[in-house]
Structure 1
Amino acid sequence: MTTPPAPGSPYIEIDGRRASTADDLLVPTLYGGYAHFTAMQVRDGGVRGLRAHLARLDAASREVFGAGLDGELVRARVRHALDGARRYDAAVRVYVFRAPDAEAATLMVTVRPPAAMSPAPQALMSVPYERPFPHLKHLGGFAQTHYGRLAREAGFDDALLTGHGGVVTEGAITNIAFYDGASVVWPDAPSLHGVTMALLEARLPESGLPSVRGPVTLDGLRAYRSAFVTNSQGIAPVRRIDATEFAVDEELMKTVVSVYEGTPWEHV
């Protein structure tokens, strides 16, 4: 019988086998820096936007390693790891990397206790940083982590990444959207197309709330009434970016959260 991990500890499988020794982790340790991944929340064995997660892994594998990734294989690996961890409410990550002499990519699945974003309004500190290859969810996030720590030390909740001329791109670990009183506006700038963002973009118009892309700059923040951030852990309003204050629009947040929570769960 498989021994479950200690409470709070990650359960790790590599290519369908539990990683329990240093040798098991040798390949990801040596080559894991050149990797891509996706992060998802699992509830009762289901994932919102599962097909989008699988499509992300396949597209990134084609770009980075020159070969696609079978979605059914990924699902099987995730199911196996959930069974091994004896946990069907979980935070799951699927990492894809490949050693230089390997014929196929290696899949590492980590299973942790479930997580959810705090609904408390966030304060964000803008920082001058654009992720390299921002359309990929890749490893190597030193700058994001460091800027996030600096933001928290300065009394903010997290960092907001910006490009040349104060162009707003994305949060350190989130997408950000703004509301001008008529439409939800996502920054039209190089960034990761997050799964939660994609789900909202597709479904918000059905609720009568237009969702558009447009340029957003730090100098132009006062054109927006409110803002919110999204990632795999959920959605939260933004109360401040640097010195610019935003009202928390309860009706807007109610609509956005309702649309997201109405997204069907897809069984892994």
Structure 2
Amino acid sequence: MTTSPAPAPAHIEIDGVPAADAGALAAVLGGYGHFTAMQVRDGRVKGLGLHLERLDRATRELFGAPLPGARVRELLGRALGASGRRDASARVYVYEHGARFLVAVTVREAAPDGPGAPRRLTAVDYLRPAAHLKHLGGFGQRYHGDAARRAGFDEALLTTPEGEVAEGAVTNIAFWDGTSLVWPTAPHLTGITMALLAPRLPSVHRPVTLPELPGFRAAFVTNSRGIAPVTAVDGVAYPVDEALMERVFVAYAEAPGEKIVSADGGGAAD
């Protein structure tokens, strides 16, 4: 009997240099910053332009300075090349570092392609602070996510004290009413997968409350690692709508992958 080799350790670079500098590590350990997460396939990323916009916008908001997309492309391309991977799960982190900021890139094993396993969610009264940012303050999400799993669920569904649905602990959620996808509008992060799907499918963005959930026909969650049907939110059960999920995956497949770097190794133009 043979065993699969253990995955290679994560390859981490900070501003283009393998992580070893004590000052840089101290900045990383400080935990103040933001990030974006993506799947890379053959050197391309769906929604790469949206990732670059997210990073630049959040860097301006948190640190008062731009983060040029060309710089991010360069660092991503360098880290992917050093890791030896063309397919990968990659993250770009931006950390506070004195009067400026530094950028860290991690490259790990790619997430599996195809639909994710069905998810059962439980609602919790919690909203992420500064929910519009993909920031590093994820303790609350992790705390409620772990509690949900201990209770036999797969993820927490974050809600306001009044029971308005916001997002999953690490996902966006969409509900299907038979005509349109309904994306909740309580404070949430606009995920890249959500941003790619919503314009390609009949979609509305409006408040969704917990008492409404039995009226929907299906639901699914999205994040950087994929798309998965939701089969229950607490006591509300949903069937897996295979026709709907097929439409969703076709729409996602239609989103083009954008090259991280050009043939000469520079940043690719969009």
Structure 1 and Structure 2 fold alike (TM over 0.5)? yes
Name the structure 1 match of 2:223: 231
Of residues 236, 240, 243 in structure 1, which corresponds to 2:235? Answer: 243
Q: Does 1:114 align with 2:118?
A: no
User: SS at the partner of 1:230?
Assistant: strand
Of residues 192, 196, 214 in structure 1, which corresponds to 2:193? Answer: 196
| CA–CA separation in structure 1 for the residues paired with 2:24 and 2:34 | 19
| CA–CA separation in structure 1 for the residues paired with 2:37 and 2:220 | 20
Of residues 37, 52, 74 in structure 2, which corresponds to 1:76? Answer: 74
- Deviation of the 1:27 alpha carbon: 2.4
Name the structure 2 match of 1:66: 64
User: SS at the partner of 2:97?
Assistant: coil
Gap regions ≥5 residues in structure 2: 1-5, 261-270
Name the structure 2 match of 1:41: 39
Name the structure 1 match of 2:3: none
| CA–CA separation in structure 1 for the residues paired with 2:32 and 2:65 | 15
Name the structure 1 match of 2:175: 178
Name the structure 1 match of 2:9: 9
- Deviation of the 1:146 alpha carbon: 1.1
Instruction: Note the alpha carbon deviations across 1:118-176, whole angstroms, 9 max, x for none.
Output: 62211001111000000000001111111111111111111110112111000000000
| CA–CA separation in structure 1 for the residues paired with 2:81 and 2:54 | 24
Instruction: Note the alpha carbon deviations across 1:19-63, whole angstroms, 9 max, x for none.
Output: 14656523212x3x1100000010111100000000000110111
Q: Does 1:132 align with 2:129?
A: yes
Give RMSD over aligned pairs. 1.4
| CA–CA separation in structure 1 for the residues paired with 2:228 and 2:133 | 23
Name the structure 2 match of 1:220: 212
Instruction: Note the alpha carbon deviations across 1:84-140, whole angstroms, 9 max, x for none.
Output: 11111111110011223x3x3200001111113762211001111000000000001
Give the AA of the match of 1:36: H
- Deviation of the 1:246 alpha carbon: 0.7
Q: Taking structure 1 as the reference length, what is the TM-score of the superposition?
A: 0.91
Instruction: Note the alpha carbon deviations across 1:187-232, whole angstroms, 9 max, x for none.
Output: 021100000000001222xxxxx11111111111011000000001
Give the AA of the match of 1:92: A
Name the structure 1 match of 2:248: 256
Give the AA of the match of 1:115: A
| CA–CA separation in structure 1 for the residues paired with 2:219 and 2:200 | 18
| CA–CA separation in structure 2 for the residues paired with 1:180 and 1:134 | 26
Name the structure 2 match of 1:123: 120
| CA–CA separation in structure 2 for the residues paired with 1:88 and 1:179 | 35
- Deviation of the 1:73 alpha carbon: 0.3
Give the AA of the match of 1:11: H
Give the AA of the match of 1:26: A
Q: Taking structure 2 as the reference length, what is the TM-score of the superposition?
A: 0.91
| CA–CA separation in structure 2 for the residues paired with 1:179 and 1:214 | 13
Name the structure 2 match of 1:55: 53
- Percent of counterpart pairs with the same letter? 55
- Count of residue pairs the alignment pairs up: 254
| CA–CA separation in structure 2 for the residues paired with 1:20 and 1:82 | 18
User: SS at the partner of 1:140?
Assistant: coil
CA contact (8 A) 2:24 2:97 kept: no
Q: Which runs of 4+ in 1 moved over 3 A?
A: 20-24
